[in-house]
Structure 1
Amino acid sequence: MFAPYRRLFSAKGSVGFTLTGFLARLALSMSGVGTVVMVAAMRHSYALAGAVGGSSLAATLVTIPLLGRLVDRYGQSRTAVPAAIWSAAMSAALVGCLATGAPAWTLFVTNVLSATAPNVGGMARARWAELYGDDDARMHVANSFEQVLDELCFVLGPVVVVGLATGIAPAAGRIAPLVLTLGGTVLFSLQRGTEPPVRAAGSSAARSPLTNRGLRVMTLVLLFTGSLFGSLEVVTIAFTDSLHHRSAAGPVLALQAVGSALAGLLFGMLTPRGSSTTRFLTGVGGMAVLMLPLTLAGSLWSLVPLMFLAGMATSPTMITGMGLVQELIPRSQLNEGMTLAVTGLLGGSSLGSVLAGWSVERFDAGDGYLLPVGAATLALLTAAAGLGRLRASVSAARLPAPAGDDTAELGQRA
């Protein structure tokens, strides 16, 4: 049953970069929650905690694409290790400012400056592309596995943070991701045998991958998908609180991630049928359909199965979507293209959180589930409207690159 995954790890070094990369990726799922919990406990203000945490998220919208471009230009290890060292140092400074009672503005400055943690998930996907880029079946399994790892991180991360913060000290939930970011990134970078080589870029390298029309469509769809995730989290917390079960918010949200992870694991065992663009549109449509029943939730017990169901289309959609991004972008700009996709998700998540926070304070908490349903619908409409551009861009990207230009100039102009 798990034969596709066993074959995936037959490549030398694949286990090493997967295990070490998992540590750094787990840190990314812990940092934001750890910051909010730590600031709220030590400064007794959720407003300040949310603002400080949000400042780092806003900064990553700038730093993540920049780091992706630097990785493509100079290589993973040469870029990721200095970025992780700087991030760890600024995270330590944030903890120090809190411990010494420094002014609130120092918390914002240090947390913004800490937003240089490398996107190890994107770098791991680039390594799989280097190993199996010419094998569509194995890349499908690799992307499925990576999505399952992402879901696992976002299930485990917040639980670990809360356990450390309440069981040891408030700062422990922020120190742990600091250590994991640095240690995991260094260990990941030491796996040199699977690191993609730096490719000499052609005449299109100076342009952003966003000049690719297909990637612009994907980024917009992922923006709405991120809005779905961000709004779903805030609305679920508010809804469980309105039911006097606020402590159940974490487990209920985890059910959505569990449903997504199981669907991703099973999806990886299937042989892909049809074009990647059609599969992506189908996945986004399934995500919109499975979100709709959440509007019927009237109690905690009705919410539990509906959240699990809502997660079932998430991983297949993200797996196909990340595979599409890899098809659209030439190898010499793969890390930057992947980080732009992640930036769309993060920006959407931030937007969804803000809109959901405004909504649940003014309307009934249960009605807030119309927001993730609406975000999923907008993602579907955008994917459907942009399907022609996606197909044209994928077709152009598969053409041989013009002589002297290995960046698939035609794919960039599609």
Structure 2
Amino acid sequence: MSNPYKEIFSVPGTKAFSAAGFLARLPIAMAPIGIVAMLSQTHGEYWLAGAVSATFALTNALIAPQVSRLVDRFGQAAVLTPATIVSVLAFLALIAATHQGWPVWTLFASAFLAAAMPSMPAMLRARWTELFRDRPELNTAFAFESAADELVYIAGASLSVGLAVALFPQAGMLISTAFLAVGTLAFVLQRATEPAVRHVAGSAPQKSAIRLRPVQIITLALVFVGATFATAEVSAVAITKDLGQPNAASLVIGVYAIGSFVVGLVLGALNPRMALQKQLMIAVAVLALTALPLPFAGTVPLLAFAVFVSGIAISPTFITAFGLVERRVPAAMLTEGVTWVTTGIGIGMALGAFVAGWAVDNFGAQNGFWVSVAAGLGAALTIGIGQRVLAGQDPDDGIGALAQAAE
């Protein structure tokens, strides 16, 4: 049996842009936690560290789709270069402000400007789509990207905090910024695999991808999925602390990501032929069902096992969601469409962490997982209700006319 991953990487340029893209997207995980680690050590105030980190994360969630919309219109190299320069300079200003003790407002201003950081997962998926559009290899490529995203979140956050603690407070942010600069430069220099710019015909201005109903449905569903991801992390930390084994939190969180990572790679190798909207429905249904035992896991081994099982549907959800975006969004706005979906994940993680933290504070560590249960049901309901639209059977979804106009 042939190795599907070997096949997709046999195409010239794929290994190079994947390696560069992996470096360039490490800051997605490193920067938010790196800001917290840096400021909590230098200023001694967790509220300030959290507020500056949230300023960066939420602003990036709003700006990244606009950057991607410009990429769809003008190309990756033309937009990623200035956006990354702005982000890198702003990160350096934030590091300097922390080291030099500049006024607090400079921290927030730097974090706001650093949010110009582009969505590298969207750029990578756009390149894979350009190479394998309407071919089964695309599902394998998306499976690889979902696995790589898992690795970024596993390694990036740990690396950022570890450097800040082991070396000096700004170390994690310095390395994160270097990865962003070097990785993006190496990525944009590879012009041979850069997607072609496709314009929508006619004089009317191109609408935003978020106005397309499939993008709205998938983005909302992944807000719920992101909430389950963050809730697992917050609740695992709280429960292991209550059980007197706080060091076990990293193990529990690790098996959560590992389960998702392994299943995602397997799914990419199998390449099932079932309709993508049905695959997504199954994935979110499994996500909802496997969340049900979480509030009842009362020991570390049971918690680790329950979290491992609940994580198996994360990567399949992401793989099929991005596959549906590729099918239901015109090529002229694909990068923006993918970015909105990744933004949904980020927003869900921020909201999930907040709500789970509130639940833990008010109702106890074990009850934080009820947020996962509710979020899983929300994802399943959203995808279930949107099946006709995701299947392309709804005449009012607006996709047909746009697809005919796009070239």
Would the aligned equivalents of 2:27 and 2:156 in 1 still touch at CA under 8 Å? yes
- In 2, Cα distance between equivalents of 1:13 and 1:213: 34
| Residue of structure 1 equivalent to 2:30 | 30
- Match of 1:273, SS? coil
In 2, distance between residues paired with 1:2 and 1:40? 50
Q: What's 1:160 paired with?
A: 159
Q: TM-score, normalised by structure 2?
A: 0.95
> Which residue is equivalent to 2:196?
197
Distance in 2, Cα, partners of 1:77 & 1:251: 40
CA RMSD of aligned residues (A): 1.8
CA deviation profile, 1:269-298 (whole Å, cap 9, x unmatched): 113132111111011001111222212210
SS of equivalent residue, structure 1 residue 206: coil
- 1:214 touches 1:393 (CA, 8 Å); kept in 2? no
Alignment of 1:11-410 (within 5 A): 11-135=11-135, 137-203=136-202, 206-392=206-392, 405-406=405-406
- Runs (5+) with no aligned partner, structure 1: 408-414
Change in Cα spacing, 1:74 to 1:102, as seen in structure 2 (3 Å) is: same
Matched to 2:129, the amino acid is A
List per-residue Cα deviations over 1:319-361 (Å, max 9, x = no partner): 0011001111111101111111111111111111111121111
Counterpart for residue 412 of structure 1: none
2:212–2:399 CA contact under 8 A, matched in 1: no
Partner of 1:411: none
Contact 2:328 2:392 in 1 (8 A): no
CA distance in 2, matches of 1:148, 1:27: 17
1:125–1:393: structure 2 CA closer, same or farther, 3 Å change rule? farther
Superposition deviation, residue 385 in structure 1: 1.2
Equivalent residue letter for 1:320: T
How far 1:202 sits from its partner (Å)? 2.2
**Paired amino acid for 1:201:** V
Aligned partners of 2:22 and 2:183 also within 8 Å: yes
Count of residues paired in the alignment? 405
Per the TM alignment, residue 157 of structure 1 is displaced from its structure 2 partner at its CA by 0.7
Residue type at the aligned position of 2:292: L
Residue type at the aligned position of 1:377: L
Alpha-carbon distance in structure 2 between the residues aligned to 1:72 and 1:402: 15
Query: How much has 1:37 moved relative to structure 2?
Result: 0.5
Relative to structure 2, which stretch is displaced further, 325-334 or 105-114?
Answer: 105-114
- The one-letter amino acid paired with 2:16 is G
Quote the offset at 1:246 in angstroms.
Answer: 2.4
Distance in 2 separating the partners of 1:327 and 1:190: 28
Q: CA deviation at 1:6?
A: 0.6
Task: Give the AA of the match of 2:187.
Answer: F
* 1:131 alignment partner AA: L
Structure 1 position 231, deviation (Å)? 2.1
In structure 2, how many angstroms separate the alpha carbons of the residues matched to 1:235 and 1:401? 43
How far apart, CA to CA, are the structure 1 residues paired with 2:231 and 2:403? 44
Letter in structure 2 aligned against 1:181: L
Distance apart, 1:230 and its partner CA: 2.2
SS at match of 2:270: coil
**Greater mean deviation of Cα atoms: 15-24 or 206-215:** 206-215
Structure 1 position 180, deviation (Å): 0.4
Task: Label 1:398 to 1:219 Cα distance change in 2 as closer, same or farther (>3 A).
Answer: closer
Q: Which amino acid aligns with 2:27?
A: A
> Does the CA contact (< 8 Å) of 2:329 and 2:399 recur in 1?
no
Percent of aligned pairs sharing the same letter: 36
Letter in 2 for 1:103: P
Cα distance, 1:114–1:11 mapped onto 2, change above 3 Å:
same
Letter of the 1:202 counterpart: A
Structure 2 residue runs without a partner (length 5+): none
Q: How far apart are 1:397 and its partner, in Å?
A: 8.7
